[in-house]
Amino acid sequence: MVLEPSDTFTPPDRLDEEFDVAVRLPVPARAGEVAHVLAEIRPRLLLLKHSLESVDERLIAECLRCGTEIMVLARPVYGLLRAPTMRRFGGLPWIRLRSRAGHPDGERLKRVCDMAVILLSSAVLLPLLLAITLTVSITGPPFYLQHRVGAGGRLFRVVKFRTMRVGAEEATGPVLAQPNDARVTRIGRFLRRSRLDELPQLWNVLRGDMSLVGPRPERPEFIARFEGLPHYDLRHLIRPGLTGIAQLTGGYAATVEDKLRCDLLYLNCRSMRVDLALLLLTLVDLVRGFPRG
């Protein structure tokens, strides 16, 4: 069974050569129509030839209930996951989706791994944190507290090294970070480029507000602007992360839509293997200075 958009270009496939394709439906298809086809045909596999942000959660739940495996057409950025669920059918790459709601056992294991990574790296992190704190203190308070939205829409205060001049938003109010932001200090520019300004958020990870890997926590002022985007609220199903796909691929120049695609990708494909791959890629970018800014 294949769902494909009728109003945008999608690459041709050779699925009929490899599978007995029961039906092809256009997107967007009504959830009730898809559910009827799933119940009547009981396909073993559903292939989605459209973007993750257009995938309805009810569709994934219905496929899981019917025992139908569901896969989405992969984009180049998906290769970043090193996911074992990546497959190639009909001459195209596909990646398996899973339920977006986290399993309690999986979340507990993720929490244990977060704590273990922080503990094992503390001998390196503590001197680095102290050195940066003393350096930033030359121009004012070293830390900056800011309200962010976490799992379940809960507000918490994120801790970062201050990278902007004191009182940078007093005249303008909340403004999204931009490449070459004029509000950023000389020291702050280096910290942002290397992502070292994010290190104090390890405290938020220890508190349980965040995880090492996940969607970036956003400010409530901006979420009020973005809540009209399809499935934007799904980002709050899991704890936000210190690093993730959006941080590694887009940097400060990424659009809200690009970040959302990355967050939905992680939400659907997360696993311990994926988390470890993203953490290793983050370490590589820490060394080379995050080339995407």
Residue pair 1/25 in contact (Cβ under 8 Å)? The answer is yes
Q: Which amino acid is at 100?
A: R
| Residues in CB range of 210: below 8 A, 6 or more apart | 150, 158, 201, 204, 217, 239, 240, 241, 242
Residue pair 155/209 in contact (Cβ under 8 Å)? The answer is no
Cis amide linkage into residue 28, ω under 30° from 0 = yes
Report if residue 65 sits inside a domain: yes
Q: How many domains does the chain have?
A: 2
Report if residue 131 sits inside a domain: yes
Main-chain phi, psi angles of 167, to 5 degrees: 75, 30
Please check whether residues 70 and 114 belong to one and the same domain. Answer: no
**What is the CB neighbour count within 10 angstroms for residue 159?**
18
Indicate if the pLDDT at residue 209 is higher than 80: yes
Please check whether residues 16 and 75 belong to one and the same domain. Answer: yes
Please check whether residues 244 and 155 belong to one and the same domain. Answer: yes
As a whole number of angstroms, the distance between CA 146 and CA 87 comes to 41
Main-chain phi, psi angles of 4, to 5 degrees: -140, 140
Report if residue 278 sits inside a domain: yes
Report if residue 293 sits inside a domain: no
Indicate if the pLDDT at residue 174 is higher than 90: no
Indicate if the pLDDT at residue 60 is higher than 60: yes
pLDDT tens readout for residues 271-285: 888 888 889 888 887
pLDDT band at 181 (very low <50, low <70, confident <90, very high): low
Please check whether residues 109 and 68 belong to one and the same domain. Answer: no
Main-chain phi, psi angles of 158, to 5 degrees: -85, 145
pLDDT of residue 114: 94
pLDDT band at 202 (very low <50, low <70, confident <90, very high): very high
pLDDT tens readout for residues 31-53: 567 777 777 777 888 887 776 65
Please check whether residues 284 and 152 belong to one and the same domain. Answer: yes
Q: How would you class 73 by CB atoms within 10 Å of its CB: exposed for 0-12, middle for 13-18, buried for 19 or more?
A: buried
pLDDT of residue 129: 94
As a whole number of angstroms, the distance between CA 202 and CA 211 comes to 9
Specify the higher pLDDT residue, 254 or 145: 145
What is the extent of the structural domain holding 198? 104-288
Please check whether residues 7 and 36 belong to one and the same domain. Answer: yes
Q: Of the residues 49, 80, 96, which one is the last residue of a structural domain?
A: 96
Report if residue 108 sits inside a domain: yes
Report if residue 7 sits inside a domain: yes
Helix (H, G, I), strand (E, B) or coil at 183: coil
As a whole number of angstroms, the distance between CA 55 and CA 219 comes to 25
pLDDT tens readout for residues 112-155: 999 999 999 999 999 999 999 999 998 889 998 989 999 888 99
As a whole number of angstroms, the distance between CA 214 and CA 129 comes to 22
Please check whether residues 235 and 125 belong to one and the same domain. Answer: yes
Residue 252 is given by DSSP the state G
